[in-house]
Amino acid sequence: MSAPRPEKGLRARKGPGPLLEGRDTFRELEASRDRPVIEGLLQRAVPHDYLLPILDRWLRARGVLGAFDGKELVALLRLDDLEEGEGWIGAIRVAPERRREGWGRRLTHWGLEVARELGMSSVRLIIEDENTASRALARRLGFRSVAAMSHVVGRTTGGQIGAPRAMRPPTEPEVPEPGSLEGVRALGGYLLTTVPRPMRFVRATRERLLREAKEGTLGVVGKDPREGLCLLGPPATSGRTSESQLRLLAPLGTAAVEIFETACEKTAQDGSLLEGFLPVAGPWLGALQERGWVSGEQAFWGERIQLYEVEL
């Protein structure tokens, strides 16, 4: 049996101390102390919030920051330490009855101060194109858009795609420099990582690709890694769809359609959906639709999102 991994990120550090402003308090939330009010806020803020099914696991990872008006929790967000000086802010939620009062702005501003205190030099987040209010807030806080992509969730329809090719792990010498990969260039030099957790965009380095290969989440379709390289994450539960599992996919090579088809076949073997992130610059969405790739129940096809970054 292998030894347990040492804790990293916020879990290994002393949490941020509370910030008091009159009757308002900004502090890190605790599962044992705050779970009921967190669940209540999520249920009110977003219908069928994807965080509810994974709430306990989400809270155990630490880094959930909250804003209180007296004893009332009115806003929360999650701050992740991605290591190497990078941070991630996600899941910003404000109680519906307290919106347009500045709580999201103030809590995010404090979250950036916490990130700076923890030694992070940059912080990222993603926002859907249609969420104009959040995009405006991000710009006011100094964030700039660094990449655009489409988010797709679903599966292929049986028999309408080409024959999938085999997927294999790359050898260490085969792992290329990220700058040679079309998918990385299209995302402005960033990489969707599934290590240590999914849905985080980090600076693309060969060391990170090698780490993904060691974890078994890096695959190659065909012979040439520059054509068929992809990141294929493990199954994970999600509240985004009625399905019990999703796999994260990020095609990095030029053969994106072949990568998608092979990944769909691989995910179908364990009954999971495929959740993919495609650079907007590529022509792949239309090509996939033409070859029978459709979105799943309660899922999206081609939802546009932007990656934002602020330097601290």
Is 132 domain-assigned? Answer: no
Q: Say how far apart CA 271 and CA 13 lie, in whole Å.
A: 38
Are 169 and 105 in the same domain? no
Indicate if the pLDDT at residue 4 is higher than 70.
Answer: no
| Residue range of the domain that includes 307 | 148-311
Are 111 and 254 in the same domain? no
What burial letters (b/e) apply to 38-62, b meaning 16+ CB within 10 Å?
Answer: beebbeebeeebebeeebeebbebb
Tens-place pLDDT, residues 172-189: 999 999 999 999 998 999
Is 187 domain-assigned? Answer: yes
Which pLDDT score, from 0 to 100, does residue 5 have?
Answer: 43
Is 133 domain-assigned? Answer: no
Is 257 domain-assigned? Answer: yes
Minimal CA–CA distance to 107: which of 77, 137, 136, 127? 77
Overall domain count for the chain? 2
Q: Say how far apart CA 198 and CA 22 lie, in whole Å.
A: 38
Tens-place pLDDT, residues 289-299: 777 777 665 56
Q: Is-contact 252 181, C-beta < 8 A?
A: yes
Is 106 domain-assigned? Answer: yes
Q: Is-contact 253 165, C-beta < 8 A?
A: no
Indicate if the pLDDT at residue 137 is higher than 50.
Answer: yes
How sure is the predictor about 104, in pLDDT bands with cuts at 50, 70 and 90? very high
Q: Which of 28-32, 35-39, 100-104, 236-240 has the lowest mean pLDDT?
A: 236-240
> What's the CATH code of the domain at 56?
3.40.630.30
Are 85 and 153 in the same domain? no
Are 190 and 91 in the same domain? no
What average pLDDT score do residues 226-248 get?
A: 79
Average model confidence (pLDDT) for the chain? Answer: 85
Q: Residue 275: what residue type?
A: E
> What's the CATH code of the domain at 295?
3.40.630
Are 105 and 157 in the same domain? no
Q: What percent of the chain has pLDDT over 90?
A: 53
How sure is the predictor about 147, in pLDDT bands with cuts at 50, 70 and 90? very high
Indicate if the pLDDT at residue 3 is higher than 50.
Answer: no
Are 163 and 87 in the same domain? no
Which pLDDT score, from 0 to 100, does residue 297 have?
Answer: 58
Are 176 and 295 in the same domain? yes
How sure is the predictor about 227, in pLDDT bands with cuts at 50, 70 and 90? very high
Is 128 domain-assigned? Answer: no
CB atoms within 10 A of CB 6: 7
Q: Is-contact 105 141, C-beta < 8 A?
A: yes
Is 299 domain-assigned? Answer: yes
pTM, to two decimals: 0.87
CB atoms within 10 A of CB 290: 10
How sure is the predictor about 1, in pLDDT bands with cuts at 50, 70 and 90? very low
